[in-house]
Structure 1
Amino acid sequence: MSEVYIVAACRTPIGSFQGQFEKHSAVELGTVAIAEAVKRASLQPEDVNQVIMGQVLTAGQGQNPARQAALGAKIPTSSTAYTLNLLCGSGLKTVALGYQGIKNGDYEVIVAGGQESMTRAEHSAYLRNAKMGNLNLSDTLLKDGLHDAVNKDTHMGHTAENLAKIYGISREAQDEFACKSQNKTEKAVTDGFFEKEIVGVPDKKTGNLIAKDEFPKFGTTVEKLSKFRPCFISNGTVTAGNASGINDGAAAVLLVSEKQLKQRQLTPFSANRGICRGWS
């Protein structure tokens, strides 16, 4: 069985909700990431055997968004593509599946990654039985992305509150962790740490490249975070300052077999020697 190697990786900048990527679909962001991963590996689109992209918010986005993004990146129709939904683990799972596909000898070159636009998640309504009158719209960002499908009144934020209570994670501890995360990100951005991994996305209005993360909050302090109100329950600990963000972006890696690595004289980032299984 072949070893599996990562030979290229890239991502778009991360956009804030209704921010710099409000006019870009998940497919458009994914197209940029896929094309750049292929380019960085010094391969051609026709060299790719399969594309696997994770995406949770697919309602109203058209058939198989991964295929759409692959076609946008000039990957030929002779290659396969499919979209994966494992919620927050979607993008990571695509890499595991890509690994398995090459390890088993089914493929030799695979692009794996994820694409999402939380900004452009659509609203939906069931119209088939409606003869007249008003209809309620469902926000698919909430219904498909953030609300528990089994316990329908449970938001992801409520789960965070439940975990904080079970494990005794105080508001202060959450704010401190969030502050450290933002401060580390600020330093990394200032030091140019992310520049090599980011591929710019053309702005639809100006044509200029959007090449910087929008979401990091420079100058974050614990004192500033302490002023945020709880989001989900009145006496809660989870706030807009210490919770995960609502964002837009895409990322992709290019996986190859050992045969392709040697034949094309590619330089690997790493050898992928195993996978882990998770539940989401």
Structure 2
Amino acid sequence: MSESIVIVGAARTPMGGFQGDFSSLAAHDLGGAAIQAAVERAGIAPATVGEVLFGNCLMAGQGQAPARQAAYKGGLPDSAGAVTLSKMCGSAMKAAMMAHDMLLAGTHEVMVAGGMESMTNAPYLMLKGRGGYRMGHDRIFDHMMLDGLEDAYQPGRSMGTFGEDCAAKYKFTREQQDAFAIASVQRAKAATESGGFKDEIAPVTVKGRNGDTVISIDEGPGKVKLDKIPTLKPAFKKDGGTITAASSSSINDGAAALVMMTESHAKKIGAKPIARLVGHATHAQQPEWFSTAPVGAVDKLFRKTGWTVKDVDLWEVNEAFAVVPMALMHELKVSHDIVNVHGGACALGHPIGASGARIMVTLIHALKSRGQSLAVQLRLNC
């Protein structure tokens, strides 16, 4: 029988709002909190971790090797290696995929995978600063926009405009997207109020002038006024636009981590698996159609695993924009009832380098709470 890769610990920080709860913390502070919690929940000795693979897209200004800094802050020893990965929205998921393959190859016995982001602390860039400005006016660039939220192949074009192209292709109306966004917020609020997120969230202590504040819930869902969503103006296309701030992911700070090992090693050391990573697949196509790439990834994954759409109990599809899961639901005939059951990025937010692990942590706990077993997680990349 072939070896399986299991997850024995999973944790995420709350998702902080832009310039919100975590504005005083760097990405590696949040990453360290997630790593420490995941390792503690796994019940393993920190010294057994061979390497950390951590996603982080907006690295400027953090200092060398952000993943290494996060590993230290997470209580891991000098012996644990660390690699920082940047694959845009898919960074943290790719970290888990690579850890899966490295564990199967015997590179390490125990690994930590995940991601982190502080979009709040992304600096502004002076592209001519080194060579000199000499005279006159010039521009500074927002690291978050330039390296995170704008297309690299059509410089200056917002990713939301490609979401509008997707909406046009499938004829998704403004009302349909608003309804999806409202459902996302309602589900996230329900999960928060019922304690559905309690087991996955690792509270983070933020120091301040008036003492410490413990942040234990996501910042975004409670601030949304559902009755205002239909009144919002289009965010990316002034005339005839259908995507608004509500049907887009918000700008956030956060981190998530997974402790992974082979199933045989878990049995050897007495670690209890909470999930099994059965397979993974990568699908690439034209960058401007990132919104439909998850459909191609599902086809490849199912050819590997032998699954069908009907076999899947739950789906997690990143809500970079509501049209992304809506397109997948349309193409694969999947009911919204089993997609993003605890809400998604339209409600919780999308810290770019962390989201791939965040939705994995949420998905694992959603399966457990519902007594279900098979799930598919999907992320898109630009």
Aligning the two structures, in what range does the TM-score lie when normalised by the shorter sequence? over 0.9
3-state SS, counterpart of residue 108 of structure 2: coil
Candidates 131, 134, 144, aligned match of 1:132: 134
Residue 240 (structure 1) shift: 1.3
- Give CA-to-partner distance per residue, 1:28-81, whole Å, 9 cap, x none: 000000011111111122110010111111122222211110111232222211
In structure 2, do the counterparts of structure 1 residues 180 and 68 end up closer, same or farther at CA, with 3 Å as the change threshold? same
Give 3-state SS (helix, strand or coil) of 1:6's partner. Answer: strand
Percent identical residues: 38
**Which residue number corresponds to residue 192 of structure 2?**
189
SS at match of 2:207: coil
**Equivalent in the alignment of 2:146:** 143
**Structure 1: which amino acid aligns with 2:191?**
A
RMSD after superposition: 1.5
User: Who is 1:89 aligned against?
Assistant: 90
- 1:114 Cα deviation from its structure 2 partner: 0.7
- Partner secondary structure for residue 76 of structure 1: coil
What SS does the corresponding residue of 2:28 show, helix, strand or coil?
helix
Equivalent position to 1:241, from 235, 238, 246: 246
Query: SS at 2:152's partner residue?
Result: coil
TM-score by length of 2: 0.70
Hey, what does 1:258 align to over in structure 2? Answer: 263
| Residue 165 of structure 2: aligned partner | 162
- Do the aligned residues in 1 keep the contact of 2:22 with 2:253 (CA within 8 Å)? yes
2:257 partner amino acid: A
Q: Within 5 A, what are the aligned runs for 1:6-17?
A: 6-17=7-18
5+ residue gaps, structure 1, are: none
Take 1:131 and 1:233, find their aligned partners in 2: how far apart are those partners? Answer: 34
| CA shift for structure 1 position 188 | 1.0
Q: For residue 227 of structure 1, what is the aligned residue in structure 2?
A: 231
How many residue pairs match? The answer is: 279
Aligned twin of 1:29: 30
Which protein, 1 or 2, shows the higher relative CO under an 8 Å CA cutoff with sep ≥ 6?
1
Q: CA deviation at 1:140?
A: 0.4
SS in 2 for 1:185: helix
Aligned partner letter, 2:272? T
CA contact (8 A) 1:53 1:66 kept: yes
The question of whether the paired residues in 1 share the 8 Å contact of 2:146 and 2:156 is answered with no
1:54 and 1:74 mapped to 2: Cα distance? 18
1:164-207 deviations in Å (ceiling 9; x for gaps): 11221110010000001111111111111001110011112122
| Matched ranges for 1:100-115 at <5 A | 100-115=101-116
CA distance in structure 2 between the aligned counterparts of 1:275 and 1:200, rounded to whole angstroms: 30
In 2, the alpha carbon distance for the partners of 1:219 and 1:159 equals: 25
Q: C-alpha separation between the residues in 2 aligned to 1:105 and 1:241? A: 45
SS at match of 2:257: strand
Displacement of 1:224: 2.2
What residue in structure 2 maps to residue 71 of structure 1?
72
Which residue does the alignment assign to 1:277?
A: 282
Match of 1:267 in 2: 272
Which range moved further: 210-219 or 51-60? 210-219
2:63 is paired with a residue of what secondary structure? coil
Q: Is contact 2:44-2:271 (8 Å) kept?
A: no
Quick one: distance in 2 between partners of 1:180 and 1:142?
28
Q: Is the 8 A contact 1:30 1:115 kept in 2?
A: yes
CA shift, 1:220, in A, is 4.4
2-structure distance, mates of 1:135, 1:65:
30
Could you say which residue in structure 2 is the equivalent of 1:56? 57
Task: Report the alpha carbon displacement of residue 131 of structure 1 after superposing the two structures with TM.
Answer: 5.4
In the TM superposition, what is the alpha-carbon distance from 1:135 to its structure 2 partner? 4.3
Say which structure is richer in helix: 2
